Structure 1
Amino acid sequence: MENVELSYDLIRYFEGDVVDFSDYEVDLSRLTDFEQKVLSEVRKIPYGSVVTYSELAERIKCPKAARAVGNALRKNPALVVIPCHRVVAKSGGVGGVGGYLLGSDVKRLLLEMEGVQGDMLETCHPSPRP
């Protein structure tokens, strides 16, 4: 039944509704502890907010691991459900360490769909800590 609910929630998300995917289980068992930690923290980034790779590294108590954070995001097995598109470069651009798996145009589209303003993407203002 969860697959049906997830499909419904994904449709709602792409129609522009605010959807909380945090209750969906995602199997991260094939990932390293570090990668699991990164992706678990990414799930806490609210809809319509962004954080930088370095801020995410600080949140997981690895302040010098921004590049490793970017590499971990590339292992995301559940795009959108684990919203790695909400992690941006320090400069505010959608690019970053390793790039978004579906490309920067898709990343920008998802962020704009969530209401992140274009100028915010260029001069990133990280979201407040939850």
Structure 2
Amino acid sequence: MYEWYSWIKAFHIIFFTSWFAGLFYLPRIYVNLAMVDNQQTYSHLLIMATKLYRFVTPFMFITAGLGIWLLYINPGLLKVGWMHVKLTLILLLIGYHFVCGYYLKKFSENRSTKGHVYYRFFNEFPVLILLAVVILAIVKPF
């Protein structure tokens, strides 16, 4: 059973990392979309953002599924405080992912009202979540 657990954990980390890569880059595209004046460039960036969002969305579901599987195998993790905080942060990150989808829809309808500065700050949220989640998973402070 331990060998399976390690494999599941490895793939959980791989898909988690891939999902985060998308969440780091997608809002950077939004920064550029909010700044661009050229319609051809806007269309190109919009295609990039759409493809990226569609590409990383399955990674979110795979990451969550593998995480649930790990908790099923080791339910004792649900008894420790750091895991409760980590799961709360992951729920916030899932919400962030869907907010990214909402903003993508606004850009695709050419109805985005946010400026590039907003998206620069918006882009920092997953960095903070990553920092907290890694510290919680490795240090296990409580």
Pairwise same-fold verdict (TM > 0.5): no
Where is the helix percentage greater, Structure 1 or Structure 2?
2
Q: Greater RCO between the two (CA within 8 Å, min separation 6)?
A: 2
- With structure 1 as the length reference, what TM-score do the two structures score? 0.28
Q: Which has the larger radius of gyration?
A: 2
- With structure 2 as the length reference, what TM-score do the two structures score? 0.27
